[in-house]
Amino acid sequence: MTFHKEGYTSLALAILFIFVINAVADYYDALPIIKWFVYLLSAFVFIVIVQFFRSPKKVIQLQDGVILCPADGKVVVIEETEETEYFHDRRLQVSIFMSPTNVHVNRNPISGIVSYFKYHPGKFLVAWHPKSSTENERTTVVVKANNGVEILFRQIAGALARRIVWYVKDNDPVIQGSEFGFIKFGSRVDLFLPLGSEIHVNIGDKVVGGKTIIGRY
């Protein structure tokens, strides 16, 4: 288990906050009950930041034709839908909701070349809102596999997630299971797969990024 680089600033601010409130409590010689409250609050803040930005080390098994899960969380949508940004046709959508307690590293579901990337500024509706996938702040990434099949995946900010981080751009080669981004403080990732793809998960399943097989194409 390691601490993700995206958490360094948050951890530094948390430590500064902890130092200040403890220094104030000591300087004014606060009552014991207040000091204990400050100690407990300090521990809570530190633990929350450390657990949120944890980044487990994973051994990824590369598999052609397999779509690996891009994020830890829970499957909340499996449906056929119209994809209107890139494909402009019918696709199988699989959506994964990430709660604040999940690991928030986002991983490439397949290996290939990034054939499309776009960042969209937007709103911060709750991640399960029907319009969050088209109106919230989000990124859209399309990766083309060696056999020409393209998979679209989308990072979507939620009500708490105020920062989406990505590490890819057009024409980048990517490896299945490697990090392509990070979303801070809970949100969701949508996958758009070719019709006829074999889906291996069900709604409500808890999934693990880079480990769980979402399906095959």
Just list the catalytic residues.
187
- State the pairing for strand pair 213-216/179-183: unpaired
Which strands, in side-by-side order, build the sheet including 105-107? 105-107, 179-183, 164-166
Contact of 106 with 71, CB cutoff 8 Å:
yes
CA-nearest of 199, 189, 211 to 78 is 199
Contact of 190 with 169, CB cutoff 8 Å:
no
* Residue 205: DSSP 8-state: -
Contact of 103 with 55, CB cutoff 8 Å:
yes
**Burial class of residue 121 (count of CB atoms within 10 Å of its CB; 0-12, 13-18, 19+):** exposed
Cα angle 164-99-18, degrees, rounded to a multiple of 5: 80
